[in-house]
Chains A and B, each alone.
Chain A
Amino acid sequence: MVASEAVGRYRLLTVDGVDQPPAPGQFYMLATAERWGGEEGRPWLARPFSHATADPLTFLVDPVGPGSRRLASAAVGEELLALGPLGRGFALVEGRRALLVGGGIGVAPLAALAEALDGSCEALLGFRDEPCARAARLVTATEVALASDDGSVGRRGFVTELLAERLARSDHEDYAIYACGPEPMLAEVGRIARAWGVPCQLAYEAPMACGYGACFGCAVATRTGFVRLCLEGPVLDAYELGDTGGDG
């Protein structure tokens, strides 16, 4: 790891020595080479992170659990283990302007997408509060609108409200939506997109032990049954999501 900087409540880690360039929406399994497995035996499994920028390779970390706290506390110069890039990223829809919709730490893969598009996109970003919202600067879209839970930045309310208004007022047929954030937000983004008939891809998160199809832990229901998010995702088409209750 060559740099670690605070971005509001989050930390942005810059990593080198990874050869294969990732596509926006792909992810890496990250761990520290040393002292992974703290005093209570956790973290033990590596953690999935989508990259926030490809050049240089960066990851946005919200220090909320044993794995993310350990990564956020890693020192500059410390060796990180990075398996990847893994999974399927965003598949750009030809001829439609990209509308990025992000919530919290979920802005990371959208930052990578904006980078790949040279900023030629619009972004709607929602955060809990102002310290979290500082991560909005990573998303280099030409137009950015913000929402926050506490009203400290941008509109008070949910980013999905911004999305509903944007689709209602603009020519929605020009757009394709690319979203990442908490699951309730993604469900609502998918619902709004389907209501307007707008193409929509959702970058999901799931508990993931391996990242390469071995553990079957990251099952997500689609119309054709459970899929492994690490192989078929993490980006899923909002029109392909489904519901399955599992084996009786």
Chain B
Amino acid sequence: MADEHTTGEGAAGDRDEPPAIGGWRPPGRVFNGSGTFDALAALAVFGDALLERFPFDVYVSKTITREPRVGNPPPRIAETAAGMVNSIGLPNKGLARFLAEDLPRLGELPVPVCVSVMGHSGDELAALVAAVGEREEVAAIELNVSCPNVESGLVIGQDPGETARAVARARALTTKPLVVKLTPTASDQAAVARAAADAGADALSLVNTFPGTVFARGRPLLARGHGGLSGPAIKPLALAQVRTVAAAVRIPVIGMGGIAAVADAEDFLAAGASYVAVGTANFRDPLAALPIRKALRAM
């Protein structure tokens, strides 16, 4: 198992069959970006019709934290040119209720489930990874490292050392495939990517949202002042980061950032990603990923 973490199986960007993530072979190339599709809410709204045309090959949960969070005050979102900014604040019911209430239902989805977790300290992260890693409904764990470590004050994903420590600690606690969701604000993205891979990550996913804000009448429109920019507006930025990271590591890369159509997904694969994720486009159309899933399956 240990060897697979660092060597991977296929070169990134392999167009024939995507490389395994750790020992796991996802059934297709299309994920959703964490926090861009609430499968349980969507099921409540659209019913079984959604299960019959589920738009992703792998379902990635919204990020779970150890304690419940209510999220940020509104306004939380604003449209921008070809995208939007959000400062949602990771509202979630916390680890215990997620495991008890949501995960059993997510396990009934027609596709494997990857659970996204975020910890603000080593202990918090460890508690999340250990508990989520025990569950049979979970195909993989994604570490969201876009948060400050309360002990060091550093944003984990901006610092190779912090990233390595977080990934190594998670790695020791689970045999599940570990995906590390990189932060687009690292000054040396390749160094962080290598640190994550060397510490045992099985795959890297990028990009998360870029810091951004919208002003109206001389003031920030979002209650928290600024948020994260997503949508087609960030695609060129995302593509460049995916290209850099894919060249720096041998583990698979899940590329995302403004993918709204098949041609966008193909660009990310050409830039070195083995998998893609559809994010903000889901907001415009809950089935936005479906044609991409079909096209990449036929590829």
Contacts and interface: CB of A to CB of B under 8 A. Distances in A.
Interface of A: 31, 37, 40-46, 66-67, 81, 83, 86, 206-210, 212-221, 225-226, 228, 231, 244-247
11 contacts: A41-B82, A207-B74, A207-B75, A207-B78, A209-B77, A209-B79, A212-B46, A214-B41, A219-B76, A219-B91, A226-B71
A25 B236 CA distance: 40
A217 B81 contact: no
B38 interface: yes
Given A86-B45, A212-B41, A44 B284 contact: yes
A-B CB proximity, top 9 nearest: A213-B41, A41-B81, A217-B77, A41-B82, A210-B283, A246-B73, A209-B283, A246-B72, A212-B45
Contacts of A218: 74, 76-77
B89 interface: yes
A40 B83 CA distance: 11
Interface in B258-299: 280, 282-286
Contacts of A212: 41-42, 45-46, 286
A210 B282 contact: yes
A215 B233 contact: no
Contacts of A67: 79
B131 interface: no
A45 B280 CA distance: 9
Nearest to B86: A217
Contacts of A86: 45
B203 interface: no
B86 A215 contact: yes
Given A40-B81, A44-B83, A214 B42 contact: yes
Contacts of A66: 79
Interface residues of B, number: 39
Contacts of B223: 246
B81 A44 contact: yes
Contact of B77 (A40, A41, A83, A207): A207
B285 to A, nearest CB: 7
A221 B41 CA distance: 19
A42 B77 contact: no
A214 B42 CA distance: 7
B84 interface: yes
Contacts of B280: 209
B235 to A, nearest CB: 12
Contact of A231 (B37, B45, B233): B45
Interface in B20-75: 35-38, 41-42, 44-46, 69-75
A228 B81 contact: no
Nearest to A216: B88
Given A41-B233, A207-B75, A212-B41, 15 more contacts: A31-B284, A42-B81, A43-B79, A44-B79, A44-B231, A207-B78, A212-B45, A213-B44, A214-B41, A216-B35, A216-B71, A219-B72, A219-B91, A226-B91, A246-B72
Contact of B82 (A44, A220, A231): A44
Contact of B72 (A83, A207, A247): A247
Q: Which of B79, B82, B285, B286 has the most chain A CB atoms closer than 10 A to its own CB?
A: B79
Nearest to B81: A41
A113 B232 CA distance: 39
Contact of B41 (A31, A81, A231): A231
A213 B91 contact: no
B70 A246 contact: yes
A215 B42 contact: no
Nearest to A65: B79
Contact of B76 (A210, A217, A244, A247): A217
Nearest to A43: B79
A209 to B, nearest CB: 4
Nearest to B62: A216
Nearest to A206: B74
A79 B152 CA distance: 54
B69 A83 contact: no
Q: Which of B44, B78, B286 has the most chain A CB atoms closer than 10 A to its own CB?
A: B286
B224 to A, nearest CB: 8
Given A44-B284, A210-B283, A213-B45, A37 B73 contact: no
Nearest to A39: B81
A107 B84 CA distance: 29
B121 to A, nearest CB: 16
A213 B36 CA distance: 9
Contacts of A214: 36-38, 41-42, 282-283, 286
Interface in B208-259: 223, 231-233
